[in-house]
């Protein structure tokens, strides 16, 4: 049971985040109003996604150095979970954008950069499925995964800051800094970052185990 304490912690943290995020008092801001509660879900999902993509790129780089298929499997599963969180981030972001800016997908550098970044990773998944030889698939997709991550970060974190953007803290648009220090925000958003990251690790761990089992079954069928 000692190895599962962090899973219990994940459940406790996310239960706290969901209940407190939906019921606790929040700053009353023009336009945002109650939609500011999305700050407890949308940004943590994106931060967790970026963290998992960075771990995925790390395992791809480690595969290229050590040639261990386990690293390739971890790379793809961290990427899978990251994109799942990215989709959830897009959904929560679209809802927030509709109530704030009146459009589910405004013509904004950051939202457009996200769309391009997600397509980059969709191509990564398609690339993997196009190879039958697992060694060749692992090597080529590892190189592409590192490239995709190197492109994704500028698309969503750097380029939006160089032009006008509706998102806070980008293109001269004032950020949430003055509200980030509000206790009603920090007491929920900080645990949310941790909770969603732990959930991502948990999902990835389960998928990794399933993939290893599937691979073991396939190897046994080939031998028999």
Residues ≥6 apart with Cβ < 8 Å to 204: 52, 74, 77, 78, 80, 81
* Per-residue confidence in pLDDT tens, the chain, 224 aa: 567 889 999 999 999 999 999 898 888 766 667 778 888 999 999 999 999 999 999 999 999 999 999 999 999 999 999 999 999 999 998 888 888 778 888 888 888 888 899 999 999 999 998 888 889 999 999 999 999 999 999 988 887 777 776 666 554 444 555 555 578 888 999 999 999 999 999 999 999 999 888 877 776 766 66
The reply to whether 138 falls in a domain is yes
The reply to whether 117 falls in a domain is yes
Look at the chain and report how many structural domains it folds into. 1
> Half-sphere exposure of 147 toward its Cβ, with a 13 Å CA cutoff?
9
Residues ≥6 apart with Cβ < 8 Å to 92: 38, 41, 42, 45
CA distance 79 to 82: 5
The reply to whether 29 falls in a domain is no
Q: The domain containing residue 200 runs over which residues?
A: 37-212
Q: 3-state SS of the chain? A: CHHHHHHHHHHHHHHHHHHHHHHCCCCCCCCCHHHHHHHHCHHHHHHHHHHHHHHHHHHHHHHHHHCCHHHHHHHHHHHHHHHHHHHHHHHHHHHHHHHHHCCCCCCCHHHHHHHHHHHHHHHHHHHHHCCCCHHHHHHHHHHHHHHHHHHHHHHHHHHHHHCCCCCCCCCCCCCCHHHHCCHHHHHHHHHHHHHHHHHHHHHHHHHHHHHHHHHHHHHHHHHC
pTM of the model: 0.87
The reply to whether 144 falls in a domain is yes
**Residue 191: predicted pLDDT:** 94
Residue 156 φ then ψ, to 5°: -110, -15
CA-based nearest residue to 37, from 24, 21, 25: 21
The reply to whether 58 falls in a domain is yes
The reply to whether 9 falls in a domain is no
The reply to whether 121 falls in a domain is yes
The reply to whether 158 falls in a domain is yes
- 53 and 149 in contact (C-beta within 8 Å)? yes
């Amino acid at each position: 049971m000692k190895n599962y304490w962090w899973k219990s912690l994940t459940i406790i943290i996310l239960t706290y985040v969901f209940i407190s995020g939906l019921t606790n008092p929040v700053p009353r801001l023009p336009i945002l109003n109650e939609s500011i509660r999305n700050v407890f879900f949308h940004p943590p999902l994106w931060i967790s996604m970026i963290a998992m993509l960075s771990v995925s790129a790390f395992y791809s780089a480690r595969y290229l150095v050590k040639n261990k298929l386990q690293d390739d499997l971890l790379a793809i599963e961290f990427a899978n979970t990251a994109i799942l969180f990215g989709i959830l981030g897009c959904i929560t972001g679209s809802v927030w954008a509709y109530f704030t800016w009146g459009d589910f997908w405004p013509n904004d550098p950051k939202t457009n950069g996200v769309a391009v970044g997600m397509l980059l990773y969709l191509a990564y998944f398609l690339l993997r499925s196009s190879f039958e030889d697992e060694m060749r698939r692992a090597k080529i997709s590892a190189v592409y995964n590192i490239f995709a991550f190197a492109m994704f970060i500028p698309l969503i974190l750097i380029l939006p800051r160089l032009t006008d953007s509706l998102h806070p803290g980008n293109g001269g648009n004032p950020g949430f800094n003055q509200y980030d220090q509000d206790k009603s925000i920090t007491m929920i958003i900080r645990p949310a970052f941790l909770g969603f990251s732990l959930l991502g690790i948990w999902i990835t761990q389960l998928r990794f185990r399933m993939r290893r089992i599937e691979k073991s079954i396939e190897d046994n069928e080939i031998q028999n």
